[in-house]
Chain A
Amino acid sequence: GAVVSQHPSWVICKSGTSVKIECRSLDFQATTMFWYRQFPKQSLMLMATSNEGSKATYEQGVEKDKFLINHASLTLSTLTVTSAHPEDSSFYICSARDLWTANTGELFFGEGSRLTVL
């Protein structure tokens, strides 16, 4: 089946630093990847849609200058949390849509990255 790998699985950083999270589709090509954020005991909230070779589309209320998204290839998207603050501490999950089964609507999720900002 389609596998999405996300790295790192957890990271602790100091306030003011930047953190990069990688999302890779291992056995399929993904023209579109989605980044979600999940706070404790809450639902997954879409942050942005990442399209290969173009700028990401951010959801309302998500700062594009703070959450930098790069989708340089059909198998890799990265999310960089810049100048992280404690309120950015959350579970970040990426998902990808297989180029060849995009019409089915199914998404494949990464393992998630737990970010803790001290």
Chain B
Amino acid sequence: GENVEQHPSTLSVQEGDSAVIKCTYSDSASNYFPWYKQELGKRPQLIIDIRSNVGEKKDQRIAVTLNKTAKHFSLHITETQPEDSAVYFCAVTGTASKLTFGTGTRLQVTL
């Protein structure tokens, strides 16, 4: 099955700095790559997604880049704010149409 690796597991940045989280996947036929933000005890919240026919997508302070050849994609958050503190998960939909999650990154934005 699909194998999704995510790094780093924890990330601490100062308010206003940028944060980058990276994921790699194994199934070259994967075609959908969402990123989720999860606060403690709550459901995952979709923050941005990208499909295999696009290399980059941006939504205000959040951007995602995809390198299909290398099978990796990254989440970029600029001008971080304390409310960005949460756990972030990448995910991949592969040939079986199942969504497989990465291991998660705990982001802490400090003042």
Q: Which residues of A contact B (CB under 8 A)?
A: 32, 34, 36, 42-46, 49, 91, 93, 95, 104-107, 109-112, 114
Contacts and interface: CB of A to CB of B under 8 A. Distances in A.
Interface of B: 31-32, 34, 41-44, 46, 49, 51, 89, 93, 97-104
A93 B43 CA distance: 7
Given A43-B89, A105-B32, A111 B42 contact: yes
A110 B42 CA distance: 9
A34 B98 contact: yes
B51 A49 contact: no
A104 B42 CA distance: 24
Contacts of A45: 101
A91 B44 CA distance: 12
Contacts of A110: 43
Given A111-B42, A112-B42, A106 B49 contact: yes
B6 to A, nearest CB: 8
Contacts of A43: 89, 101-104
B31 A105 contact: yes
19 contacts: A34-B98, A34-B99, A36-B101, A43-B89, A43-B101, A44-B101, A46-B99, A49-B98, A91-B41, A104-B32, A105-B34, A105-B49, A105-B97, A105-B99, A106-B46, A106-B49, A110-B43, A111-B42, A112-B43
